[in-house]
Copies of this chain bind each other. A is one copy, B any other.
Amino acid sequence: MTAIEEQSDGSFLFTYGDSYLLENGESLVDLELVYETWGELNEDKSNVILLHHALSVGSHASSHNKRNETGWWQEIVGPGKAIDTLKYFVICINNLGSCFGSSSPISIDKTTGEMFRANFPQVSITDMIRSQKILLDDLGIQHVNAIIGNSMGGMLSLSWAIEYPLSAKKIMITSSSYKSYPSNIANRHIQHQVIRMDPQWKQGNYDNNQNLTGFKLARKLGLFSYRNSVEWNRRFNSDQGDDIKGSDITDYIDYNAEKFCHSFDANSYLTLTKAMDLYDVTKDYESIDACFSRVLAKILVVSVESDILYTSQQQKELYSILKKNGADCEYINHHSKYGHDAFLVEKEAFTRHITSFLKS
């Protein structure tokens, strides 16, 4: 038995009454998903856009009348914006395992009455999209007009294209990939080791998330890879920097890591980044071609030339595999100095890309 409850901040809490079976064979007794929506669902439910968010954020893509706080895609989602909420019914669901409201390591394990912490099961990208499909079905939404996913969110979007080929007309995947590559795994491997080395970590039973030096350091490593050396040097090296004039880079990354630890749970960070490590969209198929030939949606793959985390090579490879398997697919290699963060920073360019994609 499912239930949906509107919360005081305008988000909705979806509860799935049954036991939710995960890919790894474990079950979640009470699956909960938090989501937010913008705009109105039209009568034939044909104006839906599903947003798949990145690692560090949740369902709050943009402000709305019950939550004024700036969202992670504030300048992209709203009335008259690229994702026009006067036209579309936009939904963004906090990923399963993420600590912004959906079932995650900070949820209470009903079987013990305690917080899951490190005992939260290792969810997968597939578990995330299957839980979202249950929610959309519950809302009576069988088909979406478009899915747009960035970074980790792009992994969900691509998985959706393969798992539910008929359910989305168009899918836009930015700064993502179809599997985890060695460089991504190595980067996260070091982060995981840094988190676990911290004496305050206590196997995930830490006393205070805000005191986790290891977690802060892991975040700094992440942050460092979201841009690139040239951009860091341009920004902090001279008075000409356009973002943070005269600031010191070590203060900047220390400050940002500190801030992150006040909102993001370390066990959730481990769960989600491990889900990315385990991600390979082809893993349940006989071959890469058998997997990708399932795709029916029109796909737009966007890479950023200066991205050192999900390199444009990874996305060129995704595009080539899609093309080879007959997908209606386009590719944009976006030239930006902002690396992996470009989709959050380059608002005008992404407004253009999204507008033209939704019109196509």
List the interface of chain A (C-beta within 8 A of B).
Answer: 181-187, 189-190, 193-194, 197-199, 213-214, 217, 220-221, 224, 228-230, 232-233, 235-237, 249-250, 253, 308-309, 311, 313-314
A80 CA to B72 CA in the complex, in Å? 61
Which 6 pairs from chain A and chain B are nearest by CB? A182-B236, A183-B229, A182-B249, A183-B232, A189-B250, A181-B233
- A190, B221: Cβ atoms closer than 8 Å: yes
A199 CA to B198 CA in the complex, in Å? 8
- B182, A197: Cβ atoms closer than 8 Å: no
How many copies of this protein are present in the complex? 2
Q: Interface residues of A: mostly helix, strand, loop or mixed?
A: helix
- A187, B313: Cβ atoms closer than 8 Å: no
Instruction: Enumerate chain B residues within 8 angstroms of A198, measured Cβ to Cβ.
Output: 197
Instruction: Enumerate chain B residues within 8 angstroms of A187, measured Cβ to Cβ.
Output: 224
CB<8 Å pairs between A and B, sample of 15: A182-B236, A183-B228, A183-B230, A183-B249, A185-B249, A186-B249, A187-B224, A190-B220, A190-B224, A190-B253, A194-B197, A197-B213, A199-B199, A230-B313, A233-B311
A56 CA to B199 CA in the complex, in Å? 29
Q: Least Cβ distance of A255 to chain B in Å? A: 13
The residue of chain B having its C-beta at the shortest distance from the C-beta of A253 within the complex is: B186
User: With A182-B249, A197-B197, A197-B214 given, can you name 4 additional A-B contacts, CB distance below 8 Å?
Assistant: A181-B233, A183-B230, A197-B198, A230-B311
Contacts known (A253-B189, A308-B308); A233 close to B182, Cβ less than 8 A: yes
Q: Least Cβ distance of A62 to chain B in Å? A: 31
- B217, A185: Cβ atoms closer than 8 Å: no
The residue of chain B having its C-beta at the shortest distance from the C-beta of A238 within the complex is: B182
- B308, A232: Cβ atoms closer than 8 Å: no
- B229, A217: Cβ atoms closer than 8 Å: no
A309 CA to B250 CA in the complex, in Å? 16
Instruction: Enumerate chain B residues within 8 angstroms of A309, measured Cβ to Cβ.
Output: 229
Q: Least Cβ distance of A75 to chain B in Å? A: 27
A229 CA to B232 CA in the complex, in Å? 18
The residue of chain B having its C-beta at the shortest distance from the C-beta of A277 within the complex is: B250
The residue of chain B having its C-beta at the shortest distance from the C-beta of A249 within the complex is: B182
The residue of chain B having its C-beta at the shortest distance from the C-beta of A216 within the complex is: B193
The residue of chain B having its C-beta at the shortest distance from the C-beta of A241 within the complex is: B182
Instruction: Enumerate chain B residues within 8 angstroms of A184, measured Cβ to Cβ.
Output: 229
A232 CA to B198 CA in the complex, in Å? 28
Instruction: Enumerate chain B residues within 8 angstroms of A228, measured Cβ to Cβ.
Output: 183, 308
A235 CA to B194 CA in the complex, in Å? 25
Q: Least Cβ distance of A346 to chain B in Å? A: 20
Q: Least Cβ distance of A233 to chain B in Å? A: 5
A33 CA to B294 CA in the complex, in Å? 66
- A233, B314: Cβ atoms closer than 8 Å: yes
The residue of chain B having its C-beta at the shortest distance from the C-beta of A177 within the complex is: B233
Q: Which of A183, A189, A199, A250 has the most CB of B within 10 A?
A: A183
Instruction: Enumerate chain B residues within 8 angstroms of A185, measured Cβ to Cβ.
Output: 249-250
Instruction: Enumerate chain B residues within 8 angstroms of A199, measured Cβ to Cβ.
Output: 199
A233 CA to B180 CA in the complex, in Å? 10
Instruction: Enumerate chain B residues within 8 angstroms of A311, measured Cβ to Cβ.
Output: 229-230, 233
Q: Least Cβ distance of A217 to chain B in Å? A: 6
The residue of chain B having its C-beta at the shortest distance from the C-beta of A247 within the complex is: B182
A213 CA to B192 CA in the complex, in Å? 13
Instruction: Enumerate chain B residues within 8 angstroms of A194, measured Cβ to Cβ.
Output: 194, 197, 217
